[in-house]
């Protein structure tokens, strides 16, 4: 069948960012207050249109910095302090997801520990960290409110839910949970990451036995800390294992 340009109307490509961190023992996502139409004044995930001369990862890193002031980690260079590691999450292409035109979004997931307060910029009026539980309670479809509270713009509640589930699943089978921790951390600090991401309480002794008994997961540094109060706690760093065997399966709730 010959190519007919008129059969393929123009469309745009965007990137949307699910940026997750743990703040005050809760899994939080980065959201921005939209300063322009459509959905002006609504909270949304950071993101924007991909330029004609850039690839998707470059667009995601640029939008993250422009709208929030946060930096993305470039794997080809040493990571700057508080840099977020970006990976592709999924692609969203419902014809009605954006009222302006046909827009396909390639969502990216970013996970990092102790990220600083965001600084709004670009077309974002303001930016903040918000607990994912409060954001997901406001889940809707393409801006139609299905519950209470203020829904996220576009289909961003669905994208956020997919990103949170990806993070929850990945820390079962990989060492990704250590990405939420400082370079040297205690088992208690790591446990609180799992509790925050999974949204459950874990038995401290059972957790300690599992993580220290998983080959390649944690490596003792030889140091201790009292930053959590009480007796000195042993410090660890992430080991060389990227996949955990046996996995850290989340408890059924």
CA distance 46 to 30: 7
C-alpha angle 125-50-12 in degrees, rounded to nearest 5: 100
Taking the complete model, does pTM exceed 0.85, yes or no? no
**Residue ranges, CATH 1.10.10.10, the chain:** 174-238
Amino acid 179: pLDDT: 82
Residue 206 has pLDDT above 50, yes or no: yes
Mean pLDDT of the chain: 85
Check residue 144 and give its pLDDT.
42
Residue 130, C-beta contacts closer than 8 angstroms, at least 6 positions apart: 28, 29, 31, 43
* Per-residue pLDDT tens over the stretch 175-197: 989 988 888 999 999 999 999 99
In the chain, CATH 3.90.79.10 covers: 5-170
**What integer pLDDT is reported at residue 73 of this predicted model?**
67
Percent of the chain residues topping a pLDDT of 70: 85
Over the stretch 104-122, which tens digit does the pLDDT of each residue have?
999 999 887 766 666 655 5
Greater model confidence, 102 or 120: 102
**Does residue 16 have a pLDDT over 60?**
yes
Reference 151, options 159, 160, 139, 161; nearest CA is: 139
CATH 3.90.79.10 fits 5-170, yes or no: yes
Considering only CA atoms, which of 123, 150, 155, 137 is closest in space to residue 18? 155
Q: Running DSSP on this structure, what letter comes out for residue 5?
A: G
Q: What would you report as the CA-atom Rg of the chain, rounded to the nearest whole angstrom?
A: 20
Taking residues 51-68, report their average pLDDT: 88
For 57-80, what is the mean pLDDT?
Answer: 75
Q: Which CATH number fits domain 174-238: 1.10.10.10, 2.40.110.10, 1.20.120.1200, 2.30.31.70?
A: 1.10.10.10
State the pLDDT confidence band at 235, using cuts at 50, 70 and 90: very high
């Amino acid at each position: 069948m010959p190519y007919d340009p008129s059969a393929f109307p123009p469309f745009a490509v965007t990137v949307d960012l699910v940026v997750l961190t743990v703040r005050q023992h809760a899994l939080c996502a980065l959201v921005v207050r939209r300063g322009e139409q459509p959905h002006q004044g609504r909270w949304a995930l950071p993101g924007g249109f991909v330029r004609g001369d850039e690839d998707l990862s470059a667009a995601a890193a640029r939008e993250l910095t422009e709208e929030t002031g946060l930096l993305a980690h470039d794997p080809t260079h040493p990571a700057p302090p508080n840099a977020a590691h970006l990976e592709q999450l999924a692609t969203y292409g419902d014809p009605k997801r954006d009222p302006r035109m046909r827009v396909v979004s390639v969502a990216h997931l970013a996970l990092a520990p102790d990220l600083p307060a965001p600084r709004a910029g670009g077309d974002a009026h303001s930016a903040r960290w918000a607990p994912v539980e409060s954001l997901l309670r406001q889940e809707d479809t393409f801006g139609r409110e299905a519950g209470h509270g203020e829904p996220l713009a576009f289909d961003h509640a669905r994208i956020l839910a997919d990103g949170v589930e990806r993070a929850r699943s990945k820390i079962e089978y990989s060492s990704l949970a250590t990405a939420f921790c400082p370079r040297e951390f205690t088992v208690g600090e790591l446990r609180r990451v799992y509790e925050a991401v999974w949204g459950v309480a874990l038995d401290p002794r059972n957790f300690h036995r599992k993580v220290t008994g998983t080959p390649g997961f944690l490596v003792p540094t030889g140091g201790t800390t009292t930053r959590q109060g009480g007796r000195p706690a042993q410090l660890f760093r992430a080991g060389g294992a990227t996949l955990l065997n046996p996995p850290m399966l989340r408890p059924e709730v």
